[in-house]
């Protein structure tokens, strides 16, 4: 059965607008995806009809909102094959990684090693650098091959008895590379290392089951999943969360507080100090419900076909340098045009209604690995069409001619 992209598009109000007098062509979903009406309606209904703080009140509104908030936790757990008590709500994937890094760092000592990869987003680099700066932890980076694949043998060669944490992306936000998670987790476990996977890109496009992956921690954000900003998810295996100290102090994360002692709540509430992102959790629940109603395998094929159409449309463009061509990669096209700065080109494309990302994509080490200071990125999502790909290719040709 043919994937009905027009039926999908009809559910996203923003896709009907124009930019600079042309239909919007939104190719920046890897940075943040647009929101279907179902998400907008769910958050509006919660604010309109039953908003209150959660877990703390006994009145009707508090009970209704608490039920909706915890239903979102159950939805997230089911979406990735976890238990609800293994799901921590954060304000984003960045906070989730910081939470884990801060907690694990309390048991690390100078000389302990953390293994990352050259393709990591800054969110999965900087928190570990804090431990390097403050505690003398040694950071190592597995190399990336010329086509954007991880050098798996190089990765394994960097593992040793000194490796305490291994953290890496499931899918690169720049290259689209899908990493061999099972092999990497298995190799890390063999040396006794704790594993964390950044799933911000992968969880949108792939069928993720954290039990099958075997990682100790898995993080992702709501806004790339067609949900709202301001909410992220930390999955932690139950025993790992139990062993992790609190990240922040305040209300909700405690069991008992007195003037001379404190005891902490069990996970996940131990890590959710203060008022949580209530409306955002409800929005994420709606986004996952919407996504689960779609034909996800067909959507994945559709997205990949769009990427292939773009590559085919640019065949023979010797002025184009594509960054990342790993087999089985996601529908992300990163590139540069000879003699043209990415920011200038992005502004020209915007005149044609085409929205792409330009810059380092929060991956400066990867930019240096490929010898560039910036690049453009077109990322294809469930709501993009073949006509949009063709318009993007045409706009890119026109932009190149402008700078030639």
Q: What residues are labeled active site?
A: 362
CB 35 within 8 A of CB 287: yes
Supply the DSSP string of 121-169, one letter for each residue: -GGGTHHHHHHHHHH-PEEEEE-B-TTS-B-HHHHHHT--TTEEEEEEE
Give the number of other CB atoms < 10 A from CB of residue 200: 27
Three-class SS of residue 321?
Answer: strand
Edge-to-edge strand ranges of the sheet holding 87-90 = 87-90, 232-236, 217-221, 194-198, 163-169, 113-117, 138-142
Burial of 111 per CB tally in 10 Å (0-12, 13-18, 19+): exposed
Residue 221 has phi, psi (to 5 degrees) of -120, 155
- Separation between Cα atoms, residue 82 and residue 32, nearest integer Å: 25
Supply the DSSP string of 199-266, one letter for each residue: -TTHHHHS---HHHH--SEEEEESGGGTS-SS-EEEEE-HHHHHHSPPSS-SSSSEEEE-SS-EEEPP
- Separation between Cα atoms, residue 29 and residue 393, nearest integer Å: 18
The first and second tokens of residue 277, run together, are 């992102």
- Which H or E run contains 378? strand 375-379
The first and second tokens of residue 321, run together, are 């340098």
Q: CA dist 298 to 181, 194, 301, 361, 390, Å?
A: 23, 34, 5, 28, 21
- Separation between Cα atoms, residue 353 and residue 356, nearest integer Å: 10
């Amino acid at each position: 059965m043919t994937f009905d992209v027009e039926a999908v598009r009809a559910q996203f109000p923003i896709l009907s607008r124009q930019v600079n007098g042309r239909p919007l062509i939104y190719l920046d979903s890897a940075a943040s995806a647009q929101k279907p009406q179902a998400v907008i309606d769910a958050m509006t209904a919660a604010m309109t009809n039953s908003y209150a703080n959660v877990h703390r009140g006994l009145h009707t509104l508090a009970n209704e909102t608490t039920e909706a908030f915890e239903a979102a936790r159950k939805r997230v757990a089911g979406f990735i094959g976890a238990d609800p008590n293994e799901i921590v709500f954060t304000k984003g994937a960045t906070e989730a990684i910081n939470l884990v890094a801060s907690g694990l760092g309390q048991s690390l000592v100078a000389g302990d090693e953390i293994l990352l990869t050259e393709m990591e987003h800054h969110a999965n680099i900087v928190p570990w650098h804090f431990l390097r700066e403050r505690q003398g932890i040694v950071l190592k980076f597995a190399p990336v091959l010329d086509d954007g694949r991880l050098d798996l043998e190089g990765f394994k060669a960097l593992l040793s008895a000194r490796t305490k944490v291994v953290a890496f992306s499931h899918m690169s936000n720049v290259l689209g590379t899908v990493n061999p998670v099972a092999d990497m987790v298995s190799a890390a476990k063999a040396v006794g290392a704790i594993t964390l996977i950044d799933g911000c890109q992968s969880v949108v496009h792939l069928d993720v089951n954290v039990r099958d992956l075997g990682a100790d921690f898995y993080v992702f954000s709501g806004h790339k999943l067609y949900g709202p900003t301001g909410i992220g998810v930390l999955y932690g295996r139950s025993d790992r969360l139990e062993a992790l100290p609190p990240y922040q102090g305040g209300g909700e994360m405690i069991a008992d507080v007195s003037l001379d002692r404190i005891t902490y709540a069990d996970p996940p509430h131990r890590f959710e100090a203060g008022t949580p992102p209530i409306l955002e959790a409800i929005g994420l629940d709606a986004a996952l419900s919407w996504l689960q109603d779609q034909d996800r395998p067909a959507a994945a094929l559709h997205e990949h076909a769009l990427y292939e159409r773009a590559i085919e449309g640019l065949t023979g463009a010797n002025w184009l340098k594509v960054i990342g061509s790993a087999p089985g990669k996601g529908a992300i096209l990163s590139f540069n045009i000879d003699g043209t700065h990415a920011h200038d080109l992005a502004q020209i494309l915007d005149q044609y209604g085409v929205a792409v990302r330009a810059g380092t994509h929060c991956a400066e080490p990867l930019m240096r690995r490929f010898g560039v200071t910036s690049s453009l990125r077109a990322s294809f999502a469930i709501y993009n069409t073949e006509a949009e790909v063709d318009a993007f290719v045409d706009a890119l040709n026109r932009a190149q001619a402008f700078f030639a």
